[in-house]
């Protein structure tokens, strides 16, 4: 507890006031990295540095960022870069803080990525509710253009770059990169078949790099301070820092920038201040609504939060939106929330997700409200299993994680929910957030 907090890397606005002012950002080294890559580095060399840093995609999949950039198809032009700012996973609120507090670092990351793949246009696709953020980003982009940091012939080179924001219309699915591209093209937000992947066939059918906001916000400092510096943080396979969005039954919910590999226990009990009212921690969702439910036992609490370790407790790190569930929460109530979320957000393109989430939501509603039979729990498990492995994209596949793990790992809660003497009182509780 007495450890000195190291300086922030992504949430630097917490250390530096007014970092959303371009002057302040530049006084703190801002846009030096972009100038460096444009004036001194070959595009491929930029990608090499990012590759060497071991940076992995922070949107949830954890795909190596530099490797993705290297997949860009150089036989087809023009190229595009799209920043995925559709941040919609329940419990995830990290990108928003970056874009609010430290917007220029993110925009510089977009610019460096665009240079690395020689895109002259980059889009920032924001979820529809981020209209205020879009307005402020537009102002920041205008400031950059006024300062000559975006536009034609940057730093006297032949390289030109324009950034544009684009607001979604309120669909979770548009965080899926190909659905995002469809939406950005003005079409119905539904995922495309993959392959081909965006680096070869993306926006308007052209090679496109789609990266998460947090991923891109890492890039300027990696260029500035080097891959080795970045690798000095985190674990070997999951280097660097990560913003953990902590929510649910904790005393101090919020964003915590910590090295990858930090344990659940440290995040929840040291930084998050533990569980309110002295209640006991029951389960953890590490990746928002798309998460399996981790049984919060001692082993789980001591598990490091990185891409490799979290699977050992039967879950994924995903976007690291850690939702804490204490013993006041009924698991059937919880999964009823997740299935309703997915039912509402399923795009409807593929059968198992469209029909399966709809069906699951009926079952969980009955179970959570004490109107179900014992067989309904079995049926719910069957329906969730039927969805598995058959969906067009990850939304449907993730919609069943909480359901299956909930039934497997917290069966007694379901037994209570379908018991004969239910008053349904327990399901009316909401998780305490005091």
Partner 1 sequence: MMAKMVSLTIDGKPVEVPEGTLVVNAAKKVGVDIPVFCYHPKMEPVGMCRMCLVEIGRPVIDRASGQPLREEDGSLKIQFGPKLETACTTPVSEGMVVLGATEKVKAGREDILEFLLTSHPLDCPICDKGGECPLQNLTMGFGPGESRYLYDDKKHLAKHVPLGELIYLDRERCIQCGRCVRFQELIADDPVIAFSQRGRSLEIVSYSEPGFDSYWSGNTTDICPVGALTTADFRFRARPWELKAAASICNHCPVGCNLTLNVRREAVSGGKWVLKRVMPRQNEAVNEIWICDKGRLGYHFGAQNAERLEKPLVRKNGELQPATWQEALELVTERFQSVGRGLITLASGRLSNEDLFNLGKLTRSLGGKSILYSSMAGGDLTTQIGFAPGTNFADMGKESAILVVGSDLEEEAPLWWLRVRQAAKRGATLIVLNARQTKLDRDAHYSLRFPFGTAAAAVLALVNTLSPKRPELPESIQELARSSELKAAAKAFAEAKDAAILFGGDGMGLAETQALAQACANLLLITDHFGRPNNGLLGVWPRANDQGAWELGWQPSMNLPADLAQAQALYIVAADPVSDDPAYLNAFDGQKFVVVQDLYLSQTARLADVVFPAQAWTEREGSYTSGERRVQRYYPALQPNAALPPRVESPGSRRAQVLTGLRAELDGPQADFAIPAFLAEKLGYEGFVHASASLVFARLAAEAPSFGGLSYQKLAEVHEQWPIVGRSDLYYGGTTYENTQGLGVQLPLAQGGASLLSWPQVADFKLPKLGGIAFPITRLYDRGATLMHSQLLHKRIGEPYIILSKQEASRLKISQGGFVRITFTDAERSVVVQAKVDEGLPERVVLAPRSFGLPISGPTPVELKPAG
- State the residues that interact with partner 1 by CB under 8 A: 171, 173, 188-190, 193, 343-352, 354-359, 362, 379, 382, 386, 389-392
User: How far is it, in rounded angstroms, from Cα 361 to Cα 363?
Assistant: 5
Nearer to partner 1, 133 or 391 (CB): 391
Torsion-angle region of residue 179: left (phi > 0), alpha (psi -120 to 50) or beta? alpha
CB of 366 to partner 1, least distance (A): 9
Among 164, 173, 98, 167, CA closest to 127: 167
Contact (CB, 8 A) for 252 and 274: no
CB of 289 to partner 1, least distance (A): 15
CB of 292 to partner 1, least distance (A): 18
| Distance from the Cα of residue 290 to its chain's centroid | 11
Nearer to partner 1, 193 or 430 (CB): 193
Nearer to partner 1, 93 or 358 (CB): 358
CB of 404 to partner 1, least distance (A): 15
User: How far is it, in rounded angstroms, from Cα 285 to Cα 123?
Assistant: 31
CB of 396 to partner 1, least distance (A): 10
Nearer to partner 1, 105 or 178 (CB): 178
Nearer to partner 1, 171 or 268 (CB): 171
Whether the bond between 78 and the residue before it is cis, its omega within 30 degrees of 0, is: yes
CB of 150 to partner 1, least distance (A): 35
User: How far is it, in rounded angstroms, from Cα 381 to Cα 179?
Assistant: 28
Contact (CB, 8 A) for 364 and 336: yes
User: How far is it, in rounded angstroms, from Cα 90 to Cα 338?
Assistant: 9
CB of 32 to partner 1, least distance (A): 43
Nearer to partner 1, 30 or 168 (CB): 168
| Residue that has been written with the tokens 């002259």 in this structure | 120
Nearer to partner 1, 278 or 389 (CB): 389
Residue 353: Cβ within 10 Å count: 28
Among 346, 354, 324, CA closest to 176: 346
Among 158, 165, 162, 71, CA closest to 120: 162
């Amino acid at each position: 507890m007495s450890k000195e907090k190291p300086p922030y890397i992504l949430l630097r606005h917490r250390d530096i006031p007014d970092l959303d002012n371009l002057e302040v950002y530049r006084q703190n080294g801002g846009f030096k990295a972009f100038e460096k890559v444009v004036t001194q580095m070959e595009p491929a060399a930029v990608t090499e540095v990012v590759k060497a840093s071991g940076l992995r995609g922070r949107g949830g999949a954890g795909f190596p960022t530099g490797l993705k950039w290297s997949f860009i198809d150089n036989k087809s032009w023009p190229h595009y870069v799209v920043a995925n700012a559709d941040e919609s996973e329940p419990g995830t609120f990290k990108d928003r803080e970056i874009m609010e507090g430290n917007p220029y670092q993110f925009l510089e990351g977009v610019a460096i990525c665009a240079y690395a793949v020689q895109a002259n246009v980059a889009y920032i696709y924001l979820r529809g509710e981020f209209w205020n953020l879009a307005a402020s980003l537009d102002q920041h982009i205008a400031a950059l253009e006024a300062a000559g940091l975006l536009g034609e012939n940057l730093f006297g080179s032949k390289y030109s770059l324009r950034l544009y924001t684009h607001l979604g219309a309120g669909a979770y699915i548009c965080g899926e990169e190909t659905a995002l591209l469809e939406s950005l093209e003005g079409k119905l937000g539904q995922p495309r078949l993959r392959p081909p992947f965006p680096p070869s066939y993306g926006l308007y059918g052209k090679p496109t790099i789609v990266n998460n906001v947090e991923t891109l916000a890492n890039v300027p400092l990696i260029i500035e301070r080097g891959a080795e510096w970045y690798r000095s943080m985190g674990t070997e396979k999951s280097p660097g820092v990560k913003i953990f969005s902590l929510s649910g039954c904790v005393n101090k919910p919020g964003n915590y920038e910590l090295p990858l590999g930090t344990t659940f226990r440290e995040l929840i009990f040291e930084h998050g201040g533990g569980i309110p009212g002295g209640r006991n921690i029951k389960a953890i969702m590490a990746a928002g609504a798309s998460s399996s439910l981790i049984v919060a036992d001692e082993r789980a609490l001591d598990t490091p939060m990185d891409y490799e370790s979290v699977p050992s407790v039967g879950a994924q790190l995903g976007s690291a939106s850690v939702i804490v569930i204490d013993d006041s929460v009924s698991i059937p109530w919880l999964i009823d929330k997740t299935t309703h979320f997915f039912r509402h957000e399923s795009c409807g393109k593929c059968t198992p997700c469209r029909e399966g989430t709809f069906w699951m939501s009926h079952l969980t509603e009955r179970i959570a409200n004490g109107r179900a039979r014992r067989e309904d729990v079995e049926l719910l498990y069957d329906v969730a299993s039927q969805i598995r492995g058959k969906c067009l994209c990850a939304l449907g596949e993730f919609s069943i994680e909480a359901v299956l793990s909930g039934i497997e790992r917290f069966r007694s809660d379901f037994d209570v929910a379908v018991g004969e003497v239910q008053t349904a009182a327990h399901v009316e509780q909401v998780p305490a957030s005091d």
